[in-house]
Chains A and B, each alone.
Chain A
Amino acid sequence: MIGVGKAKQYANVLDKPLSRGRQEVSLSAFAFLFSELVQYNQTQVDNIAELERRLEDAGYAVGARVLELLCHREKGNRRETRLLGILSFIHSTVWKVLFGKVADSLEKGTEHEDEYMISEKELLVNRFISVPKDMGAFNCGAFVAGIVKGVLDNAGFPAVVTAHFVPIEGQQRPRTTILIKFAEEVKQVCIV
């Protein structure tokens, strides 16, 4: 009979349980959706900086929600009050849930006290993207930078986050680095 054995349908989203759900999403579906997102934004803007900003804004919304949901699921409702705590949370937990692996490395900047870098050999979002020469230093990793910014801002650590390509000798494709520069008030409020 049709309909027998269907999962229970809830009338309202507030009644549905906040379960873990299916952990995996099709990579090709995501790559397709992301490419459409980038192409749509390309038609709306005149320059590269604006395009990066739009991708960042899209990632920001994701970051806020990821933060709240993951803290509820993984950390049993404990908040982070320390800078290193929230950075290692992003580096391991957030990356694992979003990309299936922890980030390659988390480093503290040498030149400035308030700079940190998360590096990845190849960002998942960039895997099927090739940037034409005339777009210069444009990096679709701005979306991931937006996610990190969303997580940090909403946890109470405002920061400027950008994505950069770092060429590595011996490798054809450059490494991607997410550069996090914390705002002034973070140094005053938090214990590093």
Chain B
Amino acid sequence: MASTACFVIVSKNDIPIYEAEVGSAPKKEDLAHQHQFILHAALDVVQDLAWTTNAMFLRSVDRFSDLVVSVYDSVVHTRFMLLHDSRSDDGIKSFFQEVHELYIKIFLNPLYLPGSRITSSHFDTKVRALARKYL
């Protein structure tokens, strides 16, 4: 299990719609801010990279000291971004795919406005469970 892991879902308009610290290390306030800053800085790189490839999993797009940012870009250009320090690519890819399925189920809700925050606590529980399983 990665000791540091910050997971963010960013909508097409670069607005975060879901955030979670899923690492196993104890939470520190300033570190959380730094993680979010790193993830948002990586958005520029993702924007250019997204148009070059057909695949959804963009692997690691940016680094910051020993932390790596991995990104998964869905069809509607909703970005799932993970800041982590572990190395297992397969685990991360499976994590992204499972969260993507959960996201599709939320998205299919006709009363969900695309681009708005995901507030379901059930979704939160499931994402954290998946993080424990794959990361």
Contacts and interface: CB of A to CB of B under 8 A. Distances in A.
B120 A68 contact: no
B18 interface: no
B75 A14 contact: no
A189 B77 CA distance: 15
B120 A14 contact: yes
Interface stretch (B22-30, B31-39, B81-89, B104-112): B104-112
Interface stretch (B2-10, B59-67, B94-102): B94-102
B93 to A, nearest CB: 10
Interface string A70-83: 01100001111100
Contacts of A61: 110
Interface residues of A, number: 23
B107 to A, nearest CB: 6
Contact of A77 (B52, B53, B100): B100
Given A65-B108, A67-B75, A77 B56 contact: yes
Contacts of B51: 81, 156, 189-190
Contacts of A156: 12, 51, 77
B21 interface: no
B15 interface: no
A78 B110 contact: no
A14 B106 contact: yes
A18 B54 contact: no
B43 to A, nearest CB: 15
Contacts of A71: 74-75
B126 A68 contact: no
Interface of B: 12, 51-56, 73-77, 97, 100-102, 104-110, 114, 120, 122-123, 126
Given A14-B102, A189-B51, 18 more contacts: A13-B105, A18-B104, A68-B74, A68-B75, A68-B104, A68-B107, A69-B108, A71-B75, A78-B54, A79-B54, A79-B73, A79-B74, A81-B54, A154-B12, A154-B77, A155-B75, A156-B77, A190-B51
